[in-house]
Copies of this chain bind each other. A is one copy, B any other.
C-alpha cells in the first residue's frame, strides 16, 4: 500500500460533503435520543447474540439493550461494525475509542448520554458529518406532512404493497376507499400513494425482494382473483403470494414511469431464516441468487431507471454487466453483508473498470440514525482511497498506451462523480 497516497486521497475524500442515498433515518427524530438507540442497532445486537454461544431474547428497554451488547464489545474489536460505533463516539461524543475498553462502563455511558442529550446534538451531527441530504425509507402510509427539513428526502418503500396483505386495509384507511374491491380501485389507491410521494419530492420508490425472485408477467384476471382473496382475508399459499407480488411489481414499476421516479430494487434477503435471532438479525442471502428473474421487467420498462443493490457478493459481476449493457440498470453501492472492505474493494474496482462513470452510485449508509452516515461513509472512503491509489499507481506503471493515466485530481473527480453527482443525476433529486 502506498500509504502516503492513500492518506492524501482519504483526507480529500473526507472533506467532501455527503449525500446518503438510502437510510432508515426517522423523519421526525433523525438522531438518537439514547445510547441504547445506537448500541441497539441490529449490527450490535445480532453480533452479541451470536457471540454469546446461546441465544438470548433482546430486551425492550434501551438501557437493557446496552447491557445486552456491552459484554461482547471486546470480541468485536477489529470489525467494521464496531468501527461505526467508535466513529460515532469519536465524532459526536468526543469519547476516544480506547476509553470504551479502559474506562468504567458507567462513565462511558454517562458521557455518551450527555452528548446525545446536549442542546445542539442534532445540529452537530449534521455539521460534523457534512451531510447535504439523506434519503429516508418511508412506508406508503407514513404521514410526512409535518416534515420541514429539506435535507430529509422521502423514499417510498413499496414492499408492503407487494408482499403484505395488510396493505389493502391500510390503503383503505388513508384514502377512505375500498382498495380490495377491484383492480381498478387498487390501482387508483396505489396511484394516490405515488402522487403523494411525488408531491413530497421523493428521491425514488424502492422495494426489497427475496433471492431468485422471478418477475413474471401476470394477467389482470389472475391478479383480480388474487386481490379478491386477499381482501377477503384469505391466507394465500407461497405460489399465490409470489404471483401477486410479481403482478404488484409490474404495477409499481408502471407507477414509477407515470410519476417519473426511479424504482430501486434491493435484492437478495431471505427474512426470518434464523429463528433464535434478534429482530433484523435473522436474515440471510444465498450465494446462488442471480438477477436473471428481472430480465422481463427491465425490458418492459425501458423508461424507468432501476437502481439495483444486492446483498450477496456472488452476483457482483452479473450486476455490473447489467449496468454495462442495459441503459436502465444502475448498480448501487455495497449493501448489508456485502458492505465490508473485501467486497467493497472488489466490486468498486470492477465498476470503475467496466462501467461508464455515470452508471453507478458509490455508497449509502443504510443507517437507522443519522449518526451512522459518517462512520459508514468513512469505512467506504478508506477502501475507495485504497482502490484509487492502486489505480493511480497502475497508470504510472502502465503508461498511456496501456491504461489511462489517473492523477489525484482525476481520482477525486471520479469520486465526486459516483458519490455526489450520480445521486443527483440517476435518482433525480437535487
Is A49 in the interface zone, CB < 8 Å from B?
yes
Q: How many chain copies?
A: 3
List which A364-398 residues lie within 8 A (CB) of chain B. Answer: 375, 378-379, 381-382, 385-386, 390-391, 393-394, 396-398
Compute how far the CA of A352 lies from the CA of B79 in the bound complex, rounded to whole angstroms: 7
Interface of A is mostly: helix
Nearest CB to that of A317 among chain B residues? B313
Contact with B along A396-430 (1 / 0, CB 8 A): 11101111101000100010000000000000000
B contact residues around A270 at 8 Å (CB): 292
> Given A50-B356, A312-B318, A400-B97, are A326 and B3 neighbors across the interface (CB < 8 Å)?
no
A281 at the interface (CB under 8 A from B): yes
Q: What chain B residues lie within 8 Å of A55 (beta carbons)? A: 302, 327
Bound Cα distance from A349 to B33, whole angstroms: 34
Q: Are B325 and A284 in contact (CB under 8 A)?
A: yes
Contact among B273, B324, B379 with A295 in the assembled complex (CB-CB below 8 Å): B273
Q: Tell whether, in the assembled complex, residue A326 and residue B274 are in contact, meaning their CB atoms are under 8 Å apart.
A: yes
Q: Cβ of B318 and Cβ of A287 under 8 Å apart? A: yes
Q: Is A323 interfacial (CB 8 A cutoff)?
A: yes
Flag whether A359 is at the interface (Cβ < 8 A): yes
Stretch at the interface among A85-93, A130-138, A171-179, A243-251: A85-93
Q: Mark A36-57, 1 if CB is under 8 A from B, else 0.
A: 0000000000110111111100
Contact A78 B349 (CB under 8 A): no
B358→A75 contact, CB < 8 A: yes
Q: Is there contact, CB below 8 Å, between B356 and A382?
A: no
The answer to whether B341 touches A50, judged by C-beta atoms less than 8 angstroms apart, is: no
1/0 per residue, CB under 8 A from B, across A95-138: the answer is 01110000000000000000000000000000000000000000
Do residues A375 and B397 form an inter-chain contact, with CB atoms below 8 A?
Answer: no
Find out whether the CB atom of A3 lies under 8 angstroms from the CB atom of B77: no
Residue of B nearest to A337 (CB): B321
Q: Which residues of B contact A406 (CB under 8 A)?
A: 78
A338-354 contact mask (Cβ, 8 Å, vs B): 1 or 0: 10111100100110111
| Nearest neighbor of A324 in chain B, beta-carbon distance | B50
A378 to B394, CA, bound (A): 12
Tell whether, in the assembled complex, residue B378 and residue A325 are in contact, meaning their CB atoms are under 8 Å apart. no
CB under 8 Å from chain B, chain A span 257-279:
270, 273-277
CA A299 – CA B51 in complex, angstroms?
A: 16
Considering residues A10, A87, A327, A400, which has the most beta carbons from chain B within 10 angstroms of its beta carbon?
Answer: A327
Which listed residue, B50, B287, B321, B390, touches A315 by the CB 8 Å rule? B287
Instruction: Give the CA-CA distance A78 to B187 in the complex, in Å.
Output: 45
Is A72's CB under 8 angstroms from B7's CB? no
Within 8 A of B (CB), among A131-176: none
* Residue A363 lies at the interface, judged by CB distance under 8 Å to chain B: no
> In the bound complex, what is the Cα–Cα distance between A375 and B404 (angstroms)?
12
Provided the pairs A6-B397, A78-B352, A341-B353 are in contact, do residues A403 and B379 lie with their beta carbons within 8 angstroms? yes
CA distance in complex: A51, B273 (Å): 39
Contacts of A316 in B (CB 8 A): 313
Contacts of A397 in B (CB 8 A): 1, 3, 6-7, 10, 382, 385
Distance (Å) between the CB of A397 and the closest chain B CB? 5
**Which of B274, B340, B382 lies in contact with A299, CB distance below 8 A?**
B274
Q: Quick one: closest B residue to A78, CB to CB?
A: B404
Most buried by B among A80, A318, A379, A382: A318
Known: A80-B353, A288-B290, A356-B79. A50 touches B402 (CB 8 A): no
The answer, among B50, B325, B354, B394, for a CB contact under 8 Å with A327, is B50
User: What's the Cα separation between A2 and B4 when bound, in Å?
Assistant: 13
**Which 5 A-B pairs give the minimum distances between C-beta atoms?**
A90-B401, A75-B356, A288-B288, A378-B402, A313-B317
A-B residue pairs in contact (CB < 8 Å), sample of 25: A47-B356, A49-B327, A50-B327, A51-B356, A53-B328, A54-B327, A55-B302, A72-B356, A78-B404, A78-B406, A98-B400, A270-B292, A274-B298, A277-B326, A285-B318, A286-B291, A287-B290, A287-B291, A287-B314, A287-B315, A288-B289, A314-B317, A340-B354, A341-B394, A375-B402
